[in-house]
Structure 1
Amino acid sequence: MSKVFIIHENSTWVEPLRLAFDELGTPFEEWFLDQGVLDLRSPPPEGVFYNRMSASSHTRDHRYAAEYTGATLAWLERHGRKIVNNSRALRLEISKVAQYEALATFGIETPETLAVVGKGNIVPAAEQLGFPLILKHNRGGKGLGVRLFLSRAALDEHLASPDFEEPVDGITLVQRYIQAPEPYITRLEFVGGRFLYAVRVDTSQGFELCPADACQVDATAIGSAACPAVAPSEKFQVIEGYRNPLIPTYERFLAENGIGIAGIEVIVDGTGRAFTYDVNTNTNYNPDAEARAGVFGMKSIARHLDGLLKQKWAARAA
């Protein structure tokens, strides 16, 4: 019997999906792709494959999990398996440069960004862009490595300190800081390539915005690298009746890039100009915010994957 296969490297983040599958009675299996052996001589099993590999996997000592996932997805794709968030989606998950270039092809505006390789090139890039600006990792996840700098002196001090983090792929992004009139961003959630809901995320305590319980941030300084498992807060609030004229464009963008499930983060400046700055294909949801609003992302994912699996069963039976 075919089943749903969950590709991931973080068991905690999968727990709500396990519960949702159990409620539906959906057969599933987890592939924890940290390390192992991929036998390219054999075909993969039948089923629906959901890729939840995270850009931040290297921060959990799973340095090559994304690369292993890329190899696995190539194997699955060669054999024609049904994949939700395919190898194209993985490429965008682990590279913000790839994200921004893909978004640009749909006319979706992103913050001005310079991609820098080599620590010594950061200051010249910053001078070219101007202050204030943000440094971030091209491959980060959860906002790791994000720092706001208001001046050249502050940037120089940071680069000379032990706090500077070398990005895992060697690419540091120097990005225009978008000043929002209020300290929040909006995250749009999509399941099955369709808009589900939007959530307002309070950024007053920093830039690490992972909404899962295990990633609640207790930070008072911008760019804190802490991600302790603490009690949920009011940091996330589902927006009732949210409207955005870009939603159809986002849906076309997701379809073109093999992305079935994602969170897209947007910030609006003081003039009302919206900038899209992150596409997260390993999306998590805040349980408190969802309970207050009566909408549930993981249950929606489970229903979507269960439906795809049943379609496969029906096709085989026909």
Structure 2
Amino acid sequence: MTDLALLYEHPAWFKPLFEALERRGVDYIARRPDGHFDPADFTPPARVVFNRIAMSSFLRSDEHPIFHGVALLDHWRRAGARVLNGPEVLAIDSSKARQLSLIAGLGLAIPATRVVHRIADIEAAAATLAFPLVVKANIGGSGAGIARYDSMEQLRAAIADRFLPTSVDGVLLVQDYVPARNGTITRIETLDRAYLYALDIAGGGAFDLCPADACQIPGAPIPMVASTPDTALREAAEAIARAVGLDVGGIEVMIDDRDGVARFYDINALSNFVAKPLDVLGWDPHDRLVDYLIHILEETR
């Protein structure tokens, strides 16, 4: 049986990981979530399966693999595979509402949020918050499905025209627009539920702050620098990773410029790491990830 299977969807994001595995001589197969699976066939594709399904996959295909992937990963785990970032992690990754509930349940601050599944409930939800606010898709990726509204009149017009974000699961978040201090968010990457590195990403109010190679627009790179969050932020990110069961992933936080409170708002189980890591970090996190994968493979022999 093959040692390692990587379940992935994006055609370009994982080339650095594939290359790192090949440099280390790791036996692996790269598998797309296409075709079909037999729920009565308990033959896993490998001893260890690493989930790399992106939430933004719905942007690339209406027939996205997000929900299919949850079932497939769960099936492979029942078949005896060790699944990293498994079905329960993918389920949290695919629900910002569940993410915020989990974070708040740990006693950490989040943006004030109301969760709805009907357009008819958006105005009443917004009335409990202050403007500006955002309406956000429960399943998003690369900043998709987020719109800002500066007044109730503007929001009512969008509701009347049905000119609102949509989510592939029908769930929307009505959320306080948090002015991030210096227009910067911090993305804390974790590996095996422990701090790996962090980036300060200057978005200037933008919502798409993906730091990886494949997200960069030629001539318009997203400004980002390596950072060292204080101990409280690092420990909070690790607590979130433990609560999720996150083998590898990014946790995003911003400092609310109004009151200085650190507000956590996103858990991303698809960590394809920073573009040009040697320039930004001085080392390549793919090497640490491969170390971790090799450790898991040794555990499962």
Please give the TM-score of this superposition, normalised by the length of structure 1: 0.87
The partner residue of 1:292 within 276, 280, 295 is: 280
Q: What is the SS of the residue equivalent to 1:254?
A: helix
Kindly state the Cα deviation for residue 72 of structure 1 after the two structures are TM-superposed.
1.3
| Amino acid aligned to 1:297 | P
Change in Cα spacing, 1:298 to 1:64, as seen in structure 2 (3 Å) is same
Q: Tell me if 1:312 matches 2:300.
A: yes
Q: Which moved more, 1:282-291 or 1:27-36?
A: 282-291
Change in Cα spacing, 1:107 to 1:158, as seen in structure 2 (3 Å) is same
Kindly state the Cα deviation for residue 66 of structure 1 after the two structures are TM-superposed.
1.2
**1:123 is matched with which residue?**
123
Q: What is the SS of the residue equivalent to 2:260?
A: coil
**2:223 is matched with which residue?**
235
Kindly state the Cα deviation for residue 79 of structure 1 after the two structures are TM-superposed.
3.0
Q: Tell me if 1:244 matches 2:231.
A: yes
Q: What is the SS of the residue equivalent to 1:83?
A: strand
Q: Which moved more, 1:284-293 or 1:100-109?
A: 284-293
**Could you report, residue by residue, the CA deviation over 1:229-272 in whole angstroms, capped at 9, with x for unpaired residues?**
53572522111x43231423432332332211010000101222
**2:268 is matched with which residue?**
280
Question: 1:210·1:284 contact (CA, 8 Å) conserved in 2?
Answer: no
Q: How does 1:200-279 map to 2 (within 5 A)?
A: 200-204=200-204, 206-216=206-216, 229-231=217-219, 233=221, 235-239=223-227, 241-270=228-257, 271-279=259-267
Change in Cα spacing, 1:150 to 1:289, as seen in structure 2 (3 Å) is farther
Q: What is the SS of the residue equivalent to 1:125?
A: helix
**Could you report, residue by residue, the CA deviation over 1:3-51 in whole angstroms, capped at 9, with x for unpaired residues?**
2211111121111111111111111111211442335323214421111
Q: Gaps spanning 5+ residues in structure 2: where?
A: none
Q: What is the SS of the residue equivalent to 1:128?
A: coil
What's the C-alpha RMSD, in Å, of the aligned pairs? Answer: 2.0
**1:16 is matched with which residue?**
16
Change in Cα spacing, 1:291 to 1:64, as seen in structure 2 (3 Å) is same
Identity of aligned residues (%): 29
Structure 1 segments, 4+ long, off by >3 Å, are 157-163
| Amino acid aligned to 2:175 | Q
Kindly state the Cα deviation for residue 182 of structure 1 after the two structures are TM-superposed.
1.0
Q: What is the SS of the residue equivalent to 1:301?
A: helix
**Could you report, residue by residue, the CA deviation over 1:203-227 in whole angstroms, capped at 9, with x for unpaired residues?**
11611111122222xxxxxxxxxxx
Q: Tell me if 1:301 matches 2:286.
A: no
For 2:33 and 2:289, the matched residues in 1 are separated by 20
Q: How many residues align?
A: 300
Kindly state the Cα deviation for residue 84 of structure 1 after the two structures are TM-superposed.
1.2
**Could you report, residue by residue, the CA deviation over 1:93-135 in whole angstroms, capped at 9, with x for unpaired residues?**
1001111112222212211111111222212211222211111
For 1:132 and 1:205, the matched residues in 2 are separated by 12
**1:56 is matched with which residue?**
56
**2:74 is matched with which residue?**
74
For 1:102 and 1:46, the matched residues in 2 are separated by 31
For 1:162 and 1:230, the matched residues in 2 are separated by 33
Q: Which moved more, 1:108-117 or 1:152-161?
A: 152-161
